[in-house]
Chains A and B, each alone.
Chain A
């Protein structure tokens, strides 16, 4: 079992999609939202995923495939 903290960013076309609900339904993951800001044209959600490491990996690949951007928490860690 593992935990991963991530940030999802939704573009306008995806703001109304229940991506986090689907993530919990399609994969054996507990999704725990900690902070979010969702507007009409863009939104982001910071959350923790709890589950098997392979399941987290597969789940995040699926989220990316929907067009939602997945980033590590706290912004990019690779610096100039």
Chain B
């Protein structure tokens, strides 16, 4: 927080983002902090550059602890002015000791970061809250996205809160539950009759032609930073320390890389217990503090696993695929941050795994039956991937492990319809007892 003078010369508290601007991840060219996502010279992705020297003077464990119970408790580390954020209370979700699932998998220090309880029921609220706040800062009156579910719900909800127009593009064959989850907030809902690739291309072109804030296009450098809070919160909730392993679902690779960035920012800023602050070095986005020893394990569904496939084949390039997976929220065939995610896996000593499609529902059921948490298909991927890591010995029984559950099962109920198999009885005690005894 710094103080600005208003027109009458009085000082009033104004939260100003500690930004130096944007920087191309490929060629290093610098840009002002504008609504841009691609370098004009090499077309590489742009990333936020922070003024960490000033941040280190204002942020502390104490300042964070006194903040709101949302992602905005980390306002000094986010790229938007936080005086009046578009906040539907995303974040600060529970970190639960997973005794039941841990016992089943032989893991004694397993935790679940339950992000399925965010206001619109997925982790997307974190990134959209930052993108929406930044969009208003830039003066946009329309916020848009192309989505297969969670993002649409979150954008529509945040626009309702902010009182601006949402324009949400969805494939016309999207499941009804997801359409309702977005439509209830009264956005302009556009159902596109086309293939996945056609919807993708159309929205990419629209972003060039319309003066709208597309959260994952021209707002992308700011939007993606919201995922860092998944790293901050886990560290804070573990008592200002990092886990030995994290298990994370991945689509574009952005969330995966930002959790890693969040861990390293905390270490460099001296926010972890027993870790002295240190320099960020030349490249803020690839900094690796030696105290950050967390192994990053990525989980993708086999039907759309371009990053996991590249890792398994030791390829430096991620070859795009056409998604064909039950886990629609992970179905990004051409992941923008794929190669950066591969570097994080290597730097952390982690892994990537393509979970068989047939294991997704089993993962959802395992989490529900052992922890009472109903996750969507992406969570099924993550839990099945965790099971694979435990069974293969990649995670030792006493190592501290956090598994990220990023979306709610109520959004993908059709995936688990087969669990509905009630005992059918007549309205009498004798009928109940005969059927109940048989079921036992």
Binding site for B on A (CB under 8 A): 4-5, 7, 9, 11, 34-35, 37, 39, 42, 44, 46, 48, 69, 71-80
Determine if B200 and A72 form an interchain contact, defined as CB atoms under 8 angstroms apart.
yes
Are A76 and B336 CB-contacts (below 8 A) given A9-B319, A35-B26, A71-B320?
Answer: yes
Closest chain-A Cβ to B303's Cβ sits at a distance in Å of 14
Contacts of B345 on A, CB cut-off 8 Å? Answer: none
Q: Kindly list chain A residues whose C-beta atoms are within 8 Å of the C-beta of B199.
A: 78
What DSSP secondary structure best describes chain A's contact surface? strand
A78 surroundings in chain B (CB, below 8 A): 146-148, 169, 171, 196, 199-200, 203, 332
Contact, CB under 8 Å: B43 / A75: no
How far, in whole Å, are A76 and B323 apart by their CA atoms in the complex?
11
Residues of B within 8 A of A42 (CB): 315, 317, 319
Say whether B329 contacts A80, CB under 8 Å: yes
A46 near B333: Cβ-Cβ < 8 Å: no
- Checking B169, B252, B328, B407 against A75 with a beta-carbon cut-off of 8 angstroms, the contacting residue is B252
A74 and B217 contact, CB distance less than 8 A: yes
Which A residues touch B401, using CB under 8 A?
none
Collect the chain B residues with CB atoms within 8 Å of residue A73's CB. 38, 43, 204
Are A79 and B317 in contact, CB atoms less than 8 angstroms apart? no
Using Cβ atoms and an 8 Å threshold, which residues of chain A touch B124? 79-80
Ranked nearest first, the 3 interchain pairs of A and B with the lowest CB-CB distance are: A75-B336, A80-B329, A72-B204
**A44 and B204 alpha carbons, distance in the complex (Å):** 19
Q: Enumerate chain B residues within 8 angstroms of A9, measured Cβ to Cβ.
A: 319-320
Known: A9-B319, A44-B317. A74 touches B45 (CB 8 A): yes
Q: Is the CB of B148 within 8 A of A79?
A: yes
B260 at the A interface (CB under 8 A): no
Bound-complex Cα distance A66 to B331 (A): 25
Residue B151, interface by CB 8 Å: yes
A9-B306 Cα distance, complex, nearest whole Å: 13
B335 part of interface (Cβ distance < 8 Å): yes
Q: A74-B204, A80-B251 are in contact. List 18 more A-B contacts (CB 8 A).
A: A7-B334, A34-B43, A35-B42, A48-B43, A72-B204, A72-B205, A75-B337, A76-B336, A77-B203, A77-B204, A77-B217, A78-B332, A79-B151, A79-B252, A80-B147, A80-B148, A80-B328, A80-B331
In the docked arrangement, what's the CA distance between A35 and B214, Å?
A: 24
The residue in chain B whose Cβ has the minimal distance to the Cβ of A48 is: B43
- The 23 sampled A-B contact pairs (Cβ below 8 Å) are A7-B334, A11-B319, A35-B26, A39-B317, A72-B201, A72-B204, A74-B37, A74-B217, A74-B336, A75-B335, A75-B337, A76-B336, A77-B146, A78-B146, A78-B199, A78-B332, A79-B124, A79-B148, A79-B151, A79-B252, A80-B148, A80-B328, A80-B407
